[in-house]
Amino acid sequence: MPTAERIDGKAKAAEIAESIRKDVAVLKNERGITPGLAVVIVGHDPASQVYVRNKKRTAESCGFHSVLHELDADTRQDEVLDLIAELNNDPAVHGILVQLPLPKHLDEQLVTQSIVPHKDVDGFHFENIGRLTAGDIDNAFVPCTPAGCMLMIEDQLGRDLSGLNAVIVGRSNIVGKPMAALLLAANATVTICHSRTKELPQVARHADILVAAVGRPEMIRGDWVKPGAVVIDVGINRIEVVTDGEKRHRLTGDVAYEEAANVAAAITPVPGGVGPMTIAMLMANTLKSASS
């Protein structure tokens, strides 16, 4: 029987959505503002389609004006940029998000940087990254996945992480790097690990807070985890399993859950951990944009 607390991201995300719903009602009544979110998806990646539909559904349930732009996989770059320019100038839209990954012929950086920073609710624009890195967090949009992870860490350990070692496995622009900036701002001592890090299990074992964002199913084993650590699993990997001779797909994280849960104090599951929090934080960022 695992001893760690299971951090319920789904329940926490539902609480956040409920609180946003109330704030939206006030914003509408007092200032006549309805938060507007525009989501752009290019192509037909099945997982991305699930995520954008969840975003649209959650936005509607929060009382937002929500628009989904579904573009064909062969849409030209100038057509994507034209749509973003239109959304940048639309006063009913407070938040714009382009679902990643984009098809290979599109320049992800050019596209994400074309969103005006004050509507960049994904927090990918260099202006928002700069503010976050400089510690000007209140005036930045923080990328949704690390923002969600941080709320779950704060629930476990409080807002001041002085004296605690945080180890992040993964150095992506979307998760690893912004996660490091947030943990540093909360006074944690932060190490970022990646594929070239030597003795990774040993480094991980020093972590009071271990964030796994590497994209490799169950890479982090129980004996990599320090007893009593808080483990945040960002990985969402779809693996094939064979049950009774039948092939099925199962979602799993970057952490071997059962093993780690026997050692950690608290751990996020996959599914039902970080994923739902990502969508909740997108709603929070859109409300912040509409309110400012």
Ligand X SMILES: Nc1nc2c(c(=O)[nH]1)N[C@@H](CN(C=O)c1ccc(C(=O)N[C@@H](CCC(=O)O)C(=O)O)cc1)CN2
Q: Where on the chain is the footprint of ligand X (CB under 6 A)?
A: 47, 50-51, 97-100, 122, 144-145, 236, 251, 270-272, 275-276, 278-279
Whichever of 95 and 276 has its CB closer to ligand X, that residue is: 276
55 is catalytic: yes
Q: Which is nearer to ligand X, 114 or 278 (CB)?
A: 278
Is 53 annotated to bind ligand?
no
Verify whether residue 99 is a known catalytic residue. Answer: yes
For residue 20, the minimal CB distance to ligand X (Å) is 16
Smallest separation (angstroms) from ligand X to the CB of 100: 4
SS3 121: coil
Closest CA to 231 of 200, 254, 252, 215: 254
Active-site position among 12, 119, 120, 122: 122
171 is in an annotated binding site: yes
SS3 200: helix
Tokens of 5: 């607390």
Q: Provide CB contacts within 8 A for 11, sequence distance 6+.
A: none
Q: In this structure, are residues 97 and 121 in contact, taking their beta carbons and an 8 Å threshold?
A: yes
Q: What is the 3-state secondary structure (H, E, C) of 131-162?
A: HHHCCCHHHCCCCHHHHHHHHHHHHHHCCCCC
User: Catalytic site residue 122?
Assistant: yes
Dist. CA 270–CA 134, nearest whole Å: 32
Tokens 């959304």, located at residue? 87
Distance CA 3, CA 9 (A): 18
Residue 27 or residue 253: which is nearer to ligand X going by CB? 253
CB of 69 to ligand X, least distance (A): 13
Q: Which is nearer to ligand X, 39 or 263 (CB)?
A: 39
> Nearer Cβ to ligand X, position 177 or 226?
177
The CB-of-204 to ligand X minimum distance in angstroms stands at 22
> In angstroms, rounded to a whole number, what is the distance separating the alpha carbons of residues 214 and 87?
33
Nearest approach, Cβ of residue 7 and ligand X (Å)? 12
CA atoms within 13 A on the CB side of 175: 24
Cite the DSSP H helix spans in 43-107: 46-61, 77-88
β partners of residue 240: 249
**Choice among 12, 99, 120, 233 that is catalytic:** 99
Q: Which residue is nearest to ligand X (CB)?
A: 275
The residues annotated with a catalytic role in the active site are 55, 99, 122
Which residues are annotated binding-site positions?
Answer: 170-172, 236
Which residues are annotated binding-site positions for NADP(+)?
Answer: 170-172, 236
